[in-house]
């Protein structure tokens, strides 16, 4: 009796684990597909094939393609935000410039490992849509506002260039993510391979030197 009860308890856990793994596969596949082909250019059948799961499982786990897109977007931004928070916490006690430099390094390295992040933003930024409105309101605007507040004192002390701090933030962001989103073209034209850690390090350090040129 005890053995049968234990087996009965294990069965739902296995089903739950399989469900979690299936959702992960779908989210990973969806993120790549949406970043490469855009929302309209991606079908749920394509996502299912990429994930290696049966197509009906998409509607079992997600109500529709829109819900899957949002879930995939939330997932990559949650990991992105966690990497920035970790970098900031690890730099506690350091100077404001060093804290910002640490966040830039985290930004660049995350974007290098997850090129879908900026490719997804490029796809959605090409035209006005409710998805873009949601992306800005949910993820991009809060990030911009938080980093702008970090940049203002650096500008006031001469560490960062003067000017609109929101423009400065976007220059840093696009310089980081834009270059990495063009990795294949840059490798072909310039021989710079962002799959090589030393090239990613060099990009991060150059961005820091350009946008945080002053000393405290």
Note whether 20 and 41 are same-domain residues: yes
CA distance 73 to 129: 15
Kindly report the number of other CB atoms within 10 A of residue 57's CB atom. Answer: 16
Note whether 127 and 154 are same-domain residues: yes
The CATH number of residue 198's host domain is 1.10.357.10
Over residues 160-184, mean pLDDT: 93
CA distance 80 to 20: 21
Note whether 94 and 197 are same-domain residues: yes
Give the tens place of pLDDT for each residue, 86-144: 998 999 899 999 999 999 999 999 999 998 999 999 999 989 999 999 999 999 999 99
Note whether 9 and 36 are same-domain residues: yes
Note whether 11 and 103 are same-domain residues: no
Residue 169 lies in a domain: yes
Residue 171 lies in a domain: yes
- CB neighbour burial string for 18-55, b if at least 16 within 10 angstroms, e if fewer: eeeebbebbbbbbbbbbbeebeeebebebbbebbebee
Note whether 93 and 55 are same-domain residues: no
CA distance 125 to 132: 7
Kindly report the number of other CB atoms within 10 A of residue 111's CB atom. Answer: 25
Looking at every residue in the chain, the average pLDDT score rounds to 91
Note whether 183 and 125 are same-domain residues: yes
- pLDDT in the model for residue 3: 53
Number of structural domains the chain divides into: 2
Opening angle at CA 166, ends 79 and 146, nearest 5: 40
Structure tokens at 35: 């970043």
The CATH number of residue 17's host domain is 1.10.10.60
CA distance 154 to 213: 10
Give the tens place of pLDDT for each residue, 6-64: 545 556 667 778 888 999 999 999 999 999 999 999 999 999 999 999 999 898 899 89
What is the pTM (predicted TM-score) of this model?
Answer: 0.85
- pLDDT in the model for residue 12: 65
Note whether 106 and 194 are same-domain residues: yes
Q: Which domain holds residue 182?
A: 72-216
């Amino acid at each position: 009796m005890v053995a049968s009860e234990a087996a009965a308890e294990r069965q739902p856990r296995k089903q739950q684990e399989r469900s979690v793994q299936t959702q992960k596969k779908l989210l990973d596949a969806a993120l790549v597909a949406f970043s490469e082909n855009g929302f309209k250019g991606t079908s749920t059948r394509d996502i299912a094939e990429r994930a290696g799961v049966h197509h009906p499982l998409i509607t079992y786990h997600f109500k529709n393609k829109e819900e899957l897109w949002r879930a995939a977007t939330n997932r990559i931004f949650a990991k992105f935000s966690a990497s920035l928070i970790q970098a900031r916490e690890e730099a506690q006690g350091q100077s404001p410039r060093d804290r910002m430099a640490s966040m830039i390094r985290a930004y660049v390295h995350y974007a290098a490992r997850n090129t879908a992040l900026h490719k997804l933003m490029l796809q959605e930024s090409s035209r006005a849509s409710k998805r873009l409105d949601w992306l800005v309101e949910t993820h991009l605007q809060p990030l911009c506002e938080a980093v702008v507040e970090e940049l203002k004192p650096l500008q006031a002390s001469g560490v960062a260039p003067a000017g609109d701090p929101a423009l400065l933030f976007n220059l840093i962001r696009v310089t980081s993510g834009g270059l990495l989103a063009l990795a294949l073209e840059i490798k072909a034209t310039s021989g710079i391979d962002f799959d090589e850690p030393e090239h990613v390090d060099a990009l991060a350090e150059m961005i820091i030197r350009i946008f945080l040129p002053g000393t405290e």
